[in-house]
């Protein structure tokens, strides 16, 4: 898994690639929480286009990111969910907790 941050004017985009599972979800959590602390934009977007798989520990890391963002009053947006990633958020009934969009254009709108 790789994470890179693009800091734009009003929004920070995290481009994540690779599978998110028990092997790297602790790292995702750490990086997300650290990056969120430094985030001064009102909106945070996770680009998951390059993520084919997310396990339950990855979902947990996303929930932690969402909570941290909310604590700071930031919007926390996901886009580019693979079929498997979408299913996992649906199964955990979290799809409605997150703001989910299809692509970057919609996430930025």
Partner 1 sequence: MLAESQGVERLHTSGLLLDLTLASDPQLLCVVRAAIERLTEVSGFSPPECRSITRAVDEAVANVMRHAYGSSPDKRIDVSCKRIAGMVNGIQREGLEIELLDQGVPFDQKKLTARSLDEVKPGGLGLHFIRDSMDVMEHSHKDGVNRLRLVKYFSAEGKGQTSQGE
Residues of this chain that bind partner 1 (CB under 8 A): 19, 21-23, 53, 55-57, 59-61, 63-64, 83-84, 87-88, 91-94, 97
Closest CA to 68 of 94, 60, 106: 60
Report, in angstroms and rounded to the nearest whole number, the Rg of the chain calculated over CA atoms.
12
Q: How far is the CB of 83 from partner 1 (least distance, A)?
A: 7
Q: How far is the CB of 33 from partner 1 (least distance, A)?
A: 12
Our CB check for partner 1 shows the closer of 19 and 72 to be 19
Our CB check for partner 1 shows the closer of 18 and 41 to be 18
Our CB check for partner 1 shows the closer of 11 and 62 to be 62
Encoding tokens for residue 10?
């009003």
Q: Is residue 29 a contact partner of residue 65, using CB atoms and an 8 Å limit?
A: yes
Q: How far is the CB of 39 from partner 1 (least distance, A)?
A: 20
Closest CA to 54 of 73, 29, 74: 29
Q: How far is the CB of 9 from partner 1 (least distance, A)?
A: 30
C-alpha of 34 from chain center? 13
């Amino acid at each position: 898994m790789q994470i890179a941050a693009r800091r734009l004017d009003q929004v920070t985009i995290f481009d994540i690639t690779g599978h998110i599972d028990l092997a790297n979800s602790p790292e995702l959590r750490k990086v997300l929480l650290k990056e969120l602390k430094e985030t001064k934009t009102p909106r945070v977007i996770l680009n998951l286009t390059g993520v084919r798989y997310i396990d339950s520990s990855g979902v947990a890391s996303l929930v932690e990111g969402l909570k941290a963002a909310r604590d700071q009053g930031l919007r926390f947006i996901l886009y580019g969910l693979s079929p498997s990633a979408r299913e996992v958020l649906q199964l955990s009934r979290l799809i409605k907790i997150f703001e989910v969009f299809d692509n970057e254009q919609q996430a930025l709108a």
